[in-house]
């Protein structure tokens, strides 16, 4: 199958490209810079110049492709963010999704795969959820994720596009800027637990997430019309994760920071993220896509991250 990707050069996208090519698919990636085009060629994919925010360019770039994947994001990498820092990501989710959906419809694609996030469930105060659990438009930085899913889903329900939505847990991997920052701060004793730290987090190693997206491409009939939680098998409390990482790194056990102080230092968005407590089941992806995580829990996944980190430091 010839697959067109937006976000092909990102942390997730690079892995998806490599796995698709290894599985025998042809891959074209949207590219807005010479550097991205070189990276895509190095990976073995075909760069297709264009802007995600220009509908005509997206349609031209995806011509001849049988599948479209939306993996593009623009997540801020600083600990403290302002609402304006999230505007590029909101634009990608709303305008970018509209353009990619239209391109997939124009070309009569066999499948359209949309990346989303399990954070759309909001703060469920630790309850277990699956894909049948209701999702509401949460004000703030997650509203655009709700809108993005709605755009894609309506294209499926009203216009016949075979759509699959993959809601990913919190990403981590050795080359993620957010993961690197977390590990560096933990080593320096600068990653305290905010408040009680009792929120449940559903995580996923990016390698496992990439495998799920390839499974969705290779099982278009099973994926069509589906929403899938892509997360590991063992959600973890935030405080347990912080303490465990400190132990794995040989660092001091993290201290505590009052929530009010943290809100002043990091802003409300960070606190909302830290307090979102939800435990996601991944049964639908297992049953319909044949997917299972190679790293069933955060300890296995972060052990691999630290091995890769050490190997990179020695080379």
For residue 100, is pLDDT > 80? yes
Please compute the mean of the pLDDT values over residues 219-247 and round it to a whole number.
Answer: 97
Which structural domain range is residue 129 located in?
2-172+203-232+279-294
Please compute the mean of the pLDDT values over residues 253-263 and round it to a whole number.
Answer: 87
| Cα dist from 167 to 41, 260, 281, whole Å | 29, 30, 11
Tell whether 196 is covered by a domain: no
| Cα dist from 272 to 3, 92, 204, whole Å | 36, 22, 20
Q: Are the C-beta atoms of residues 240 and 98 closer than 8 Å to each other?
A: no
What was the pLDDT predicted at 226?
98
Query: CB neighbours (10 Å) of residue 91?
Result: 14
Please compute the mean of the pLDDT values over residues 245-256 and round it to a whole number.
Answer: 95
Tell whether 29 is covered by a domain: yes
Tokens of 64: 């001849």
Tell whether 11 is covered by a domain: yes
With a CB cutoff of 8 Å and minimum separation 6, the contacts of 122 are 135, 136, 138, 142, 276, 278
pLDDT tens track for 261-281: 877 777 777 777 888 899 999
In the DSSP assignment, the letter for residue 96 is I
CA distance 108 to 3: 13
What CATH number does the domain containing 21 carry?
3.40.50.720
CA distance 312 to 18: 20
Tell whether 192 is covered by a domain: no
Q: Looking at 38-42, 207-211, 307-311, which range is the least confident one?
A: 307-311
Please compute the mean of the pLDDT values over residues 28-56 and round it to a whole number.
Answer: 97
| Cα dist from 198 to 27, 33, 229, 259, whole Å | 42, 43, 22, 13
Question: Which backbone phi and psi does 277 adopt, to 5 degrees?
Answer: -110, 110
3-state DSSP assignment of residue 253: coil
Tokens of 212: 């799920």
What was the pLDDT predicted at 312?
87
Tell whether 219 is covered by a domain: yes
Tell whether 305 is covered by a domain: no
Q: Are the C-beta atoms of residues 227 and 167 closer than 8 Å to each other?
A: yes
pTM of the model: 0.95
CA distance 148 to 93: 5
What was the pLDDT predicted at 270?
74
DSSP 101-124: HHHHHHTT-SEEEEEEEGGGG---
CA distance 10 to 228: 21
Tokens of 7: 């976000």
pLDDT tens track for 103-143: 999 999 999 999 999 999 999 999 999 999 999 888 788 89
Tell whether 300 is covered by a domain: no
Mean pLDDT of the chain: 94
Q: Are the C-beta atoms of residues 200 and 235 closer than 8 Å to each other?
A: yes
What proportions of the chain, in percent to the nearest 5, are helix, strand and coil? 50, 15, 35
170-172/203-205 β-pairing: parallel
Domains: count for the chain: 1
Of 65-79, 238-252, 270-284, which has the strongest mean pLDDT? 238-252
What was the pLDDT predicted at 76?
81
Tell whether 314 is covered by a domain: no
What was the pLDDT predicted at 3?
98
């Amino acid at each position: 199958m010839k697959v067109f990707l937006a976000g092909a050069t990102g942390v997730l996208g690079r892995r998806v490209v490599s796995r698709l090519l290894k599985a025998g698919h042809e891959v074209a990636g949207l590219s807005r810079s010479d550097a991205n085009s070189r990276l895509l060629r190095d990976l073995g994919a075909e760069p297709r110049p264009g802007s995600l925010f220009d509908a005509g360019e997206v349609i031209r770039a995806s011509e001849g492709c049988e599948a479209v994947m939306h993996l593009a994001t623009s997540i801020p990498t600083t600990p403290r963010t302002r609402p304006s820092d999230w505007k590029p990501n909101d634009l990608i989710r709303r305008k970018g999704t509209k353009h990619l959906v239209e391109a997939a419809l124009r070309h009569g694609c066999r499948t359209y795969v949309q990346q989303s996030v399990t954070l759309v469930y909001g703060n469920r105060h630790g309850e277990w959820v699956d894909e049948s659990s209701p999702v509401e438009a949460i004000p703030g930085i997650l509203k655009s994720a709700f809108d993005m899913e709605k755009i894609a889903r309506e294209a499926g329900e009203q216009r016949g596009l075979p759509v699959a939505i993959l809601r990913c847990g919190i990403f981590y991997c050795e080359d993620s800027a957010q993961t690197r920052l977390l590990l560096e701060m933990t080593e320096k004793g600068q990653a305290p637990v905010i408040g009680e730290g009792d929120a449940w987090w559903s995580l996923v190693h990016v390698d496992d997430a990439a495998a799920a997206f390839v499974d969705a491409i290779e099982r278009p009939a099973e994926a069509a019309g589906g929403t899938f939680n892509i997360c590991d098998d063992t959600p973890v409390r935030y405080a347990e994760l912080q303490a465990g990482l400190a132990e794995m790194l040989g660092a001091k056990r993290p201290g505590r920071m009052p929530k009010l102080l943290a809100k002043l230092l990091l802003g409300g968005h960070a606190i909302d993220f830290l307090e979102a407590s939800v435990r996601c089941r991944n049964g639908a992806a297992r049953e319909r896509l044949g997917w299972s995580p190679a790293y069933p829990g955060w300890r296995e996944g972060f052990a691999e991250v630290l091995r890769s980190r050490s190997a990179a430091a020695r080379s």
